[in-house]
Amino acid sequence: MADHPITVEATLAVHPEEDRFSRLRLIPWWDQQKISAARIVVIGAGALGNEILKNLALVGFAQVVVVDMDHIETSNLSRSVLFRASDVGSSKAVSIARGYMDLLPEATVHPIVANVMQHCGLGLFEWADIILAGLDNRETRLWINRAAWKVNRPWIDGAIEGINGVARVFPSGQPPCYECTLGETDWAILNRRMSCNLLLHEANPQGRVPTTPTISSIIGGIQVQEAVKVLHSLPTLASKGYVFEGLHHTSYVVEYTENPDCMSHYTLDSIVRLPQRSSELTLEQLMQLGRTDLDTQEVVVEFSRDIIHRLVCPRCGATEDVFVPVGAIDRTRGLCPDCAGPEPQVRIVQTLTSYKGESALADRTLDTLGLPLFDIFTVRSATSEISYCIAGDAAALLGPLEADTKEGR
Ligand SMILES: [Zn+2]
Ligand SMILES: [Zn+2]
């Protein structure tokens, strides 16, 4: 045999169907087409995000949006397979998208360099078939959980610390959800993150959790495997957690209990896609649309999240209209410029969560409220509701993947 090694040509002759995914197709239930067509949103491009995206690329997910606001530091390189030393200083989302397409050139990966809570409209979540998160904080997880519930999408969470980790699947509209799992300690940490007047207290200590590439590989691997199973309607870790303790190599599945008072369990009734951009619609026009569709005059327009619309100085009474996302104002910006001196005055933050027909707001276009593009607004009456996705903004968040939404499915 040594004189007659099998050549490449001979191998191809024996296996004419060989391609990149042919070994995956040998799994009886595997549907490569389903994977390739699935729309995936990954939030977080850190240690877990790298492993999640690496696996998504290897199994052939071809439509991916990745969201991360941070830039790459040298210390990230020990846990990030898709980053190169030359990427230090670059955006994590942009670099990871490039790394993804190096692995799978036929994929379209759109990076969003942003804070998902402030800058991503709910239209992004509605676009997704599955949302995967590789985060290091409860605040963003809680936000994703509520957003996923509103648009009825499943999400898969991963968390790592040291050489331990947990992966969990939260199916659409089915408790117990992530918020149901939160205990007193979690809420204490969550509440500490934001001061009572909504000014951001201190620099975000994210990205300092001690982790290894090995535990992120294990947990990120489970997350993507569960995503593949969700897509194929196979049994998953639905509303459960898979815990892996690296020190004693023990693993087990935890079951969660539904919290009947959980605030997350709310799914929008119906979502209508409007072709306009948010710059082409005023609050009053949107309200009018809702009045017509709901066939009643008594309605309010609810926002997807609170916005800070005004800062008021309790000392001198000066007010400043701002219209920015909650979390966008730090302590320094919150101080009254008119009361400078040895004892600066912190201003009171006023937030808005809906439009009730106030004349001062009526003519504001939807893009000037401090809400993100491609967002969803809900018009509600006493008895019914209708939600509008501002789909004219889709390209702003989906980039080249927007073309696919026009064709529908
Ligand atoms: Zn819940
Ligand atoms: Zn003042």
For residue 182, report the distance from its CA to the centre of ligand 1, in Å: 9
Asked if pLDDT for residue 173 goes beyond 80, the answer is: yes
Q: Which ligand sits nearest to residue 317's alpha carbon?
A: 2
Q: Count CB neighbours of 364 within 10 A.
A: 16
Q: pLDDT for 83-110, tens place per residue?
A: 999 999 999 999 999 999 999 999 999 9
For residue 345, report the distance from its CA to the centre of ligand 2, in Å: 6
For residue 364, report the distance from its CA to the centre of ligand 2, in Å: 27
Cα–Cα distance measured from residue 214 to residue 266, given in angstroms and rounded to the nearest whole number: 37
Q: What is the mean pLDDT of residues 202-228?
A: 85
For residue 327, report the distance from its CA to the centre of ligand 2, in Å: 21
Q: How far apart are the first and last CA of the chain?
A: 52
Contact (CB, 8 A) for 122 and 147:
yes
Cα–Cα distance measured from residue 180 to residue 187, given in angstroms and rounded to the nearest whole number: 11
Q: Which ligand sits nearest to residue 173's alpha carbon?
A: 1
- Average per-residue pLDDT for the chain: 92
For residue 190, report the distance from its CA to the centre of ligand 2, in Å: 30
Specify the residue for token string 């980790």.
Answer: 165
For residue 347, report the distance from its CA to the centre of ligand 2, in Å: 7
For residue 176, report the distance from its CA to the centre of ligand 1, in Å: 5
For residue 285, report the distance from its CA to the centre of ligand 2, in Å: 36
For residue 206, report the distance from its CA to the centre of ligand 2, in Å: 33
Q: What is the pLDDT of residue 3?
A: 53
For residue 377, report the distance from its CA to the centre of ligand 2, in Å: 34
Q: Which two tokens stand for residue 375?
A: 């967002």
For residue 118, report the distance from its CA to the centre of ligand 2, in Å: 27
Q: pLDDT for 356-409, tens place per residue?
A: 999 999 999 999 999 999 999 999 999 999 999 999 999 999 999 998 665 444
Q: What is the pLDDT of residue 4?
A: 55
Query: pLDDT grade, residue 340 (50/70/90)?
Result: confident
For residue 150, report the distance from its CA to the centre of ligand 1, in Å: 12
Q: What is the pLDDT of residue 30?
A: 98
Q: What is the pLDDT of residue 199?
A: 66
Orientation of helix 47-59 relative to helix 213-231, angle to 10°? 40
Helices (H) and strands (E) in the chain, counts: 15, 14
Cα–Cα distance measured from residue 203 to residue 327, given in angstroms and rounded to the nearest whole number: 11
Q: pLDDT for 247-290, tens place per residue?
A: 999 999 999 999 999 999 999 999 999 999 999 999 999 999 99
Asked if pLDDT for residue 329 goes beyond 90, the answer is: no
Cα–Cα distance measured from residue 384 to residue 394, given in angstroms and rounded to the nearest whole number: 26
Q: Which ligand sits nearest to residue 149's alpha carbon?
A: 1
Task: Give domain 27-255's CATH superfamily.
Answer: NAD(P)-binding Rossmann-like Domain (3.40.50.720)
Q: pLDDT for 193-210, tens place per residue?
A: 765 556 655 444 555 788
Q: What is the pLDDT of residue 203?
A: 46
For residue 350, report the distance from its CA to the centre of ligand 2, in Å: 15
Kindly calculate the radius of gyration of the chain based on its CA atoms and give it in whole angstroms. 24
Q: What is the pLDDT of residue 191?
A: 85
For residue 75, report the distance from its CA to the centre of ligand 2, in Å: 43
For residue 256, report the distance from its CA to the centre of ligand 1, in Å: 10
Q: Which ligand sits nearest to residue 316's alpha carbon?
A: 2
For residue 265, report the distance from its CA to the centre of ligand 1, in Å: 6
For residue 197, report the distance from its CA to the centre of ligand 2, in Å: 16
For residue 146, report the distance from its CA to the centre of ligand 2, in Å: 36
Q: What is the pLDDT of residue 2?
A: 47
Q: Which ligand sits nearest to residue 314's alpha carbon?
A: 2
What is the percentage of the chain residues whose pLDDT exceeds 70? 91
Q: Which ligand sits nearest to residue 239's alpha carbon?
A: 1
Could you give the residue range(s) of every CATH 3.40.50.720 domain in the chain? 27-255
Asked if pLDDT for residue 166 goes beyond 60, the answer is: yes
Q: What is the mean pLDDT of residues 130-151?
A: 96
Contact (CB, 8 A) for 303 and 387:
no
Asked if pLDDT for residue 350 goes beyond 90, the answer is: yes
Q: pLDDT for 1-54, tens place per residue?
A: 445 555 555 455 556 568 999 999 999 999 999 999 999 999 999 999 999 999
For residue 320, report the distance from its CA to the centre of ligand 2, in Å: 10
Q: What angle do CA 36, 125, 214 make, to 5 degrees?
A: 65
Cα–Cα distance measured from residue 72 to residue 91, given in angstroms and rounded to the nearest whole number: 6
